[in-house]
Structure 1
Amino acid sequence: MTGEESLRPQSLLLTFLGDQVLGRDVCVYSGSVIDVFARAGVGEQATRSTLTRMVKRGLLRRQREGRKMYFGLTEHSAAVLRDGEHRIWQTGAVNRHWDGTWTLLGFSLPESWQRQRHDLRSKLTWSGFGPLFSGLWIAPGEVDVAELVSELGLAAHVKVFRAHADAGMDIGAMIEETWELPELAARYEEFVRRWEAWESRLPDADDALALRLRLQAEWLEVIRRDPRLPVKHLPDDWPAERAEKTFRAVYDRLTPLAQEASERLLDLMPVRPDQA
């Protein structure tokens, strides 16, 4: 599945708001969102439904100005976006500075707790863990899982440790057995295939904002699925670095046009004091 097929409107909308609203104390007019999303290939009805759904989930808030409806961030969505911003621009896709530490998480749940087991495994996967054994999961570095475990109500059933591998341990082999490296590499390779042509091309001016929006959303989807395994224990041709270079090159190339387009296309309104 390509990034274009798999991206959800909610992912695009959060990326859009992180790019245009986060840290600025402004809201954006719904018509502006519809316009930009149409250029990104998302229909008006899907955009309106996404806005409504995200308000109900506490990810957006509304501010009416005359007959127009503007949308802004909540504290929760702002926190989510700051995390994504940090992952893109500070953490990056390539883990060159791993200190040898692993986080081990063991759990034992009653046999009848199938839903809880599924939820825990899903959360662990998104947090960078892989299954070392059936009830013992591992992630590189020091991963704080306290909130994750608390949300699921499983604190009494989970044990967490920090560890280092024995000197004779074949870490590369362990990584290959624990994580789906071919699947992860394929995501990076697909990203490069989809975007490398834009390293030397420019879109029409009004399409630059939507194109950069899709670029950022697709890149965040790729790196959020990456457990950031230590690069020195990955195959020599690991494609993450090439993909990151493509992302940054295309982003830099699109940004001047995207900024001009945002000034023309976006209707922004300061957050009212009673709405802050």
Structure 2
Amino acid sequence: MGRDRHRGPDRTLTGVEHVEDAEIPSEPAGVAQPRPQSLVLAFFGNHILEEGGRCVYSGSIIDVLGRVGVGEQAVRSTLTRMVGRGLLRRQRQGRRMYFGLTPQAVRILRDGGRRIWQDGAVNEDWDGTWTLLGFSLPDSWQRQRHDLRSKLIWYGFGALFSGLWIAPGRVDVSGVIAELDLAARIKVFHATADETTTDIDRMVQESWDLEAIAARYAAFDKRWTALEATDGHTGDPIATRLLLVTEWLGIIRTDPRLPARHLPAEWPARAAQETFRRIAAETQEPARRVAGELLDTVPEEPDDGTP
């Protein structure tokens, strides 16, 4: 079967599934261990999202993820799980199986692109408002508590007190509350702090683990600038870009984007973001060319509802 390629603009990079993986990473700073699902989503965000209704051959996905050390069986298992989770859809053509994005995955990827390119890692334009979310859940609701905490971390909340979480800016959590069916047990307020009685710098330090956040940015910047200095990022641009984007979004998805004026001087997110965007720009066209030669894609057929 011949390849049917269609290359579109490459502006949105990727997103990640924030339902399953929203916990703050537990691995040591400086160690990049991206999960296969995050890599698959990054692959689709890099090369399929802006294609406009395309599906990609499973063998192409296996080939690209193999370049970053993910084995064929792990890729196949991940694709199957992602179909079950409603993130991907299958499409058979002859003896080949192709995979395309579901509307849910498209939303996740576009949200990731917004966080990368529009929001960024440095919050310079904070307007002084906070979103406060209070909840009261029975002790036996451990799963609901975990799910709510994971969602709140994704949306940039930190624990102000037990049962009271806070995030900078006006955060719309109505979708989270509805999804978890917790409307009767959650109250949300938008407010400003009384700075005559509230030390905001101290509040930020107590509600978020600034040292851990800063360490992840510093480790990212150190590792990728060192790779760039040795031209180690140019050998396989499609693999480099896949790892770069996956790791970067893994960091910023757990960054609450706290107001820059309430963070320590020389906050490392700024330098890390400059490094990320520089290497992303350097690898964009080379990765696009490799993808054009490597990926077997076909037009997406109407979904008949079959999983």
Measured against the shorter chain, the TM-score band is over 0.9
Q: Does 1:259 align with 2:278?
A: no
Does 141-150 or 219-228 show the bigger shift?
141-150
- Give 1:1-276 correspondences, 5 Å limit: 1=27, 5-24=32-51, 25-168=53-196, 169-200=198-229, 201=231, 203=233, 207-273=236-302
Deviation at 1:203, TM superposition (A): 4.4
Asked whether the 8 Å contact 2:32–2:247 carries over to 1, the reply is no
Which structure 2 residue ranges, 5 or more long, are not aligned? Answer: 1-26
> Structure 1: any 5+ residue segments left out of the alignment?
none
Could you tell me the TM-score, scaled by structure 2's length?
0.85
Distance 1:86 1:71 in 2: 24
Q: Deviations over 1:39-96 (max 9, x none)?
A: 1111111011111111111111111111111111011111111100111111100000
Distance 2:278 2:226 in 1: 11
> Take 1:122 and 1:271, find their aligned partners in 2: how far apart are those partners?
33
Determine the C-alpha separation between the residues in 2 that align with 1:197 and 1:275.
Answer: 49
Please report the RMSD computed on the Cα atoms of aligned residues, expressed in angstroms: 1.7
Judging changes above 3 Å, is the alpha-carbon distance between structure 1 residues 49 and 112 closer, same or farther for their aligned structure 2 residues?
A: closer
How many residue pairs are counted as aligned between the two chains? 275
Code of the aligned partner of 2:129: T
Counterpart of 1:171 in structure 2: which amino acid?
I
Runs of 4+ in 1 over 3 A off after TM superposition: 2-5, 202-205, 273-276
The answer to whether the 8 Å contact 1:14/1:81 transfers is: yes
Q: TM-score, normalised by structure 1?
A: 0.94
| Contact 1:3–1:218 (CA under 8 A) maintained in structure 2 | no
Query: Are the counterparts in 2 of residues 131 and 138 from structure 1 also a CA contact under 8 Å?
Result: yes
- Distance, in Å, in 1 between the alignment partners of 2:76 and 2:174 is 36
Query: Secondary structure of the equivalent of 1:28?
Result: strand
Listed one character per residue, the Cα deviations across residues 126-161 of structure 1 (whole Å, up to 9, x for unaligned) are 221111111211100001111111222211111110
Does the CA contact (< 8 Å) of 1:198 and 1:250 recur in 2? no
| Same amino acid, percent of matched pairs | 59
